[in-house]
Structure formats: C-alpha cells, structure tokens
Amino acid sequence: MRYTVTTFKVRLEVAESGIRIRNSETAAIVARGIFNRLDADKEHFVMMGTNNKNQINGYKEVSTGTLTSSLVSPGEVFLAALRLRAAAIICVHNHPSGDPMPSQEDQDITRRLKECGEMLAIRVLDHIILGADSYYSFSDRGLL
C-alpha cells in the first residue's frame, strides 16, 4: 500500500511569448492580462520574473488577500523568483477600491523587497499597483 501526503502546491506559470518589459506601461498591460483571470474583489500580489533581457519568463501569484489587504512575504516572492531562475522581478498587486495610490504598507513592502533583492542579486525592476483605470509605478516615481 502506498500513501501520498501533499503538504503544499506550487503553480508557476511560464510565459511563452517572450514579452520584453521596456517600461512600466508594458508591465502594467501584461499584468492586467494576468489579473483579468483573478477575483477582482480581492487583493492579489503577483511576481513576474524576467531574464537578463527583461523578457518575462513566468509569474506566480504569491498572495491572495481580502478586499483591503494582502499579506506578502519577501521569502515567498524570492522563492518563486529563484524557481523561475529570474534575473529580475516585477511585483504587481491590485487595489480593488480602484485607487492605485500606495499605502504605507505598500511602501514598506517595496523597500523590504528591494533590500532582499539586493542581497540575492535579483533586481527589483518595479512594484506596480493596479487601479481601476490607472496604475502606480514605484520605479517611475524614483522609489526603486
């Protein structure tokens, strides 16, 4: 008799398009395609991994939260980045309220992700917050 115990499941989506991220607008367009498949009434945090040429090689939904928050662990973000063999990452999350302005928690996790990325030699290219019709880019604001 054989027993199997599943302790966790990890799903990494691999992009086959080789889309090159040239700026925050391109990243936001790609991210909206991912977020269109997720529940719009909850916060989701997604990490997109890129190669050295900034081509997306995959993504992982790191966290799903509530209407107003999502718990994000830098360890989970970079574990997914390492599994994707990412040279750099772009973090994206949504605000179901529609307002993309970052909260203090958003600013804090961005700072922590940047610090952790520097230790692991994985560049954090951007952290984008998706709103209803717009987005906020930490990179565009010079905060990364």
In a domain, 6, yes or no: no
In a domain, 4, yes or no: no
**So what's the pLDDT on residue 70?**
76
- Residue that wins the pLDDT comparison between 39 and 78: 78
In the chain, the amino acid numbered 67 is L
Grade residue 15 by pLDDT with cuts at 50, 70 and 90. very low
Residue 43 sits in which domain range?
24-137
User: For the chain, what percent of residues have pLDDT higher than 90?
Assistant: 72
74 contacts 112 by C-beta, under 8 angstroms: yes
- 36-45, 107-116, 131-140: lowest mean pLDDT where? 36-45
**So what's the pLDDT on residue 22?**
86
**Distance from C-alpha of 125 to C-alpha of 86, rounded to nearest angstrom:** 12
**So what's the pLDDT on residue 32?**
92
Q: Can you give the CATH number for the domain in which 53 is found?
A: 3.40.140.10
Residue 100 has, within 13 A of its CA and on its CB side, a CA count of 15
**Distance from C-alpha of 140 to C-alpha of 98, rounded to nearest angstrom:** 19
Over residues 129-144, mean pLDDT: 94
φ and ψ at residue 112, rounded to 5 degrees: -65, -40
Q: Is the pLDDT assigned to residue 36 strictly greater than 80?
A: yes
How many structural domains is the chain composed of?
1
Q: Where are the alpha helices (DSSP H) in 12-86?
A: 24-35, 74-83
In a domain, 89, yes or no: yes
- For all residues of the chain together, what is the average pLDDT? 88
Over residues 113-127, mean pLDDT: 96
Over residues 47-63, mean pLDDT: 93
**Distance from C-alpha of 78 to C-alpha of 44, rounded to nearest angstrom:** 16
